[in-house]
Every structure is written in structure tokens, then in C-alpha cells.
Amino acid sequence: MKKIEALIKPYKLEEVKNALSEMGVEGMTISEVKGFGKQKGGGQCYLGMENKIDFVPKIKLELVLLDSQVELASRVIIKSAKTGKIGDGKIFVLPLEEAVQIRTGATGERAV
């Protein structure tokens, strides 16, 4: 099992969610987060004054998938989240040692 954490632009959420659902992803967790990468958040001009934006709003998707689903899910996220502009986001794939379904006690892949 693997955990995918993807940071995407907020307005791309529906497109990414729909594309993942079409490929068979049955669950995900979504969080509204803020952060910055190499672009350092950029700047914004208001009333002739430059205002530094320290953090950029993003959506964080968390998915727990079988190893066989990870490559396709990553491609689907890239295709549906990509704008070609700075700040499109990142995908992180992490190994997952164990999963436990609280209601049933099922473990491993049965819990996913």
C-alpha cells in the first residue's frame, strides 16, 4: 500500500476528484492548506503598494491506494491538475506500513 499526498490549485479540485473517481478511487481526504514553494508566494500590487504574499492557498489530497494503482493515480492527477504555470503543485508517494478500519478491525488491503 502507498499513500499519495498531492498539493493542487483549489480551482482544480473538482476536475481532479472526478478524474480519480473515474479511475476507481473510492475515497480521499481533502484539506485546505496554505504554503509556498520555490516561487515564495509571489507579490501583489494594491493601491500602488507591493504586498508580499507569504502563503498561497492550496488543496491537499490524501489517498491510500494499492501499489498497483499508484502510477495511474499519479498520471491522472498530473493530467487533471496541470495548467503549465508556476504553482501547479506536487505529488508525494509514501510507503504505508499498515491500515486499520476502525469499525470492523480489518487490516492491510482489506481496510482500504
Per-residue pLDDT at 39: 67
Angle at 66 between CA 68 and CA 100, to 5 degrees: 170
Give the separation between CA 41 and CA 58, rounded to whole angstroms: 11
Is residue 45 predicted with pLDDT exceeding 90?
A: no
Is residue 107 predicted with pLDDT exceeding 70?
A: yes
pTM: 0.85
Is residue 47 predicted with pLDDT exceeding 60?
A: no
The one-character DSSP state at 85 is S
* CA-closest candidate to residue 27, choices 63, 74, 69: 63
In sequence order, what are the beta bridge partners of 58? 33
In sequence order, what are the beta bridge partners of 107? 100
Domain range 2-40+50-111, CATH class = alpha beta
Q: What does pLDDT average to over the chain? A: 90
Name the percent of the chain lying above pLDDT 90.
76
Per-residue pLDDT at 36: 82
Helix, strand, coil share of the chain (percent; to 5): 30, 35, 35
Per-residue pLDDT at 23: 94
φ, ψ for residue 66 (rounded to 5)? -70, 150
92 or 44, which is more confident?
A: 92
Owner of C-alpha cell 508580499: 52
Is residue 105 predicted with pLDDT exceeding 70?
A: yes
